[in-house]
Chain A
Amino acid sequence: MSNIDKHEITLNINGNSTSLTVEGRTLLHDTLRRAGMVSVHAGCEHGVCGACTVRINGQSARSCITLAVQVDGDEITTVESLAKGEELNIIQEAFWRRHGLQCGFCTPGMLMRVTEFLEENPDPTRDEAREAIASNLCRCTGYQHIIDSVIEAAARLRGEEWSDDAGIPARELGDATEVSN
């Protein structure tokens, strides 16, 4: 067996073509983290939990059971691509307002999965949303607020206003003394 199994690969990470040298065995999540995409979290490293979910050529996938060499030349999308500067995108903001996260560790994987799901199904039922996110484990929320967030995000993406159940950020409330409790 060769001790040096190095490969030059090129990944398009969030729109940036990135040349990397990896071992054949280097897992994609480690490669992406080394390239600065620390949103890609290792939760179980055996393909069960989905915390490491990224999109490969648009399709959600577990980066902990994918070798970097397998996706040579492919487009990889991570959570780092979602916000514009300080501004969350609609799905992120829906998760924020509907408390779709607690510890935040499963959140990037969940967001990548939900982004894909809402592209395929812009007007999902709660049951459809529930099944879609069942690929990704969350230990904090019991999932209910994540499903709320998915439904909220779908409505916003369809052009609807924030629902009454969506929290209003304190900054938008300004001086809350004027707002009834």
Chain B
Amino acid sequence: MKPPRFEYLRPDSVGAAVALLNEHGEGARILAGGQSLIPMMNFRIAQPSHLIDITRVPGLDAITDEGNAITIGAAVRQSTVEYSPVVKDRCPLLVEALKWVAHEPIRHRGTVCGSLAHADPHSELAATSLALNATFTVVGASGERQVPAVDFFIGPFTTVIESGEMLSSVSFPVVPAGSGYAIDEFSRTHGNFAIAGGVSVIQLGADGKVASATLSMFGMASRAFRAFAAEERLIGSMPTAEAIAEAADLALVDVDCSADMHGSEEYRAHLGRVYAGRVLTSAVARAQGGSK
């Protein structure tokens, strides 16, 4: 299981990286940690003609506190984010989400942006970016554009990043004080891909009713997705067990669940509702407990 031949390139700026992408066309791919791409190359499922290693581009390895958001550059390793005091303080949900991503030795090499650009349907980080309304900065030859998370993921391993473009950073809004959040998932073995999982962020009003709610799901369909119907059911309501159960039942409305040897569509839909319920319950409890 050896990767096919390609040309390895190591630009020293985002501009140079984009120029190389455009020069080499469809076969060129960005290489960050490579923790998803290189296994696919070892299987020869992926056969890029050029790999453009952006991990040494100055500035891309920065975690920046923007006040209302934390911006993570394309070369920042997952474990760097996981152990970043500022992330832990301002966006602790991201730290919790990272604990679910593979194993620590993988997180030492893998990057947050690389995982997001890879857009695996099982990705905890993709779902977290949806639940937090993250913003993606995509750079191309004609400049950069900002893409909200809800528009970023299109399908399995597919995002709005076009040929000749790269993801240069992602901004996660800070988790508002007083809100509750939760991530949970079911995978068959520790650190393996989730069959189903959910992420939720809940804010309660002074009256105890749900002021805002996000719920995103992963592992069960062609991409991570927001469960808007479930969110709408909760917003403005008292977060009772009944309300949460009803919301969880709405989590997979209009979703075509995927199937593989680990679970049929029906089983995934069932698990999805279970995990929607579990993360909503946990997020509400945390919001009610006034935890960060």
Check A-B contact in the complex, CB < 8 A: yes
Q: Is the pair B39, A65 in contact by a Cβ cutoff of 8 Å?
A: yes
Q: Let me know if A180 is at the binding interface, CB within 8 A.
A: no
Q: Is the pair B55, A24 in contact by a Cβ cutoff of 8 Å?
A: no
With beta carbons under 8 angstroms apart, the residue of B50, B103, B109, B190 that contacts A66 is B109
Find the B residue at minimum CB distance from A22. Answer: B8
Please, which residues of chain A bring their CB within 8 A of the CB of B43? 46
Binary CB contact string for chain A from 39 to 51 against chain B (1 if under 8 A, 0 otherwise): 0000001110010
Find the B residue at minimum CB distance from A59. Answer: B108
Q: Is the pair A25, B35 in contact by a Cβ cutoff of 8 Å?
A: no
Q: Which of B41, B42, B55, B104 has the most CB of A within 10 A?
A: B104
A25 to B50, CA, bound (A): 10
Q: Is the pair A65, B34 in contact by a Cβ cutoff of 8 Å?
A: yes
Which parts of B1-58 form the interface with A (CB within 8 Å)?
A: 1-8, 10, 27, 31, 34-35, 38-39, 41-43, 49-51, 53, 55
Q: Which one of A2-10, A86-94, A96-104, A154-162 is at the interface?
A: A2-10
Q: How many residues of B contact A (CB 8 A)?
A: 32
A162 to B113, CA, bound (A): 46
Q: Is the pair B42, A60 in contact by a Cβ cutoff of 8 Å?
A: no
With beta carbons under 8 angstroms apart, the residue of A24, A25, A53, A69 that contacts B105 is A53
Find the A residue at minimum CB distance from B51. Answer: A24
Check A134/B190 contact, CB under 8 A, given A24-B8, A24-B51, A66-B109. Answer: yes
Check A61/B105 contact, CB under 8 A, given A70-B34, A134-B190. Answer: yes
Please, which residues of chain B bring their CB within 8 A of the CB of A1? 5-7, 27, 49-50
CB distance from B107 to the nearest CB of A (A): 9
With beta carbons under 8 angstroms apart, the residue of A5, A7, A65, A134 that contacts B6 is A5
With beta carbons under 8 angstroms apart, the residue of A3, A53, A59, A70 that contacts B53 is A70
Q: Is the pair A67, B108 in contact by a Cβ cutoff of 8 Å?
A: no
Q: Is the pair A70, B1 in contact by a Cβ cutoff of 8 Å?
A: no
Q: Is the pair A47, B6 in contact by a Cβ cutoff of 8 Å?
A: no
Q: Let me know if A64 is at the binding interface, CB within 8 A.
A: yes
A residues touching B (Cβ–Cβ < 8 Å)?
1-3, 5, 7, 23-25, 27, 30, 45-47, 50, 53, 56, 59-62, 64-67, 69-70, 113, 131-132, 134-135
B residues touching A (Cβ–Cβ < 8 Å)?
1-8, 10, 27, 31, 34-35, 38-39, 41-43, 49-51, 53, 55, 79, 103-106, 108-109, 190-191
12 further A-B pairs in the complex, CB-CB below 8 A; given A65-B35, A70-B53, A135-B105: A1-B49, A24-B6, A24-B7, A46-B1, A47-B38, A47-B106, A61-B105, A62-B106, A134-B191, A135-B103, A135-B104, A135-B191
Q: What are 14 A-B pairs at a CB distance below 8 A?
A: A1-B49, A24-B5, A25-B3, A45-B42, A47-B39, A60-B104, A65-B38, A65-B42, A66-B34, A67-B3, A69-B10, A70-B55, A113-B105, A134-B103
Question: Which 4 A-B pairs rank lowest in CB-CB distance, beginning with the nearest?
Answer: A24-B8, A135-B103, A45-B1, A59-B108
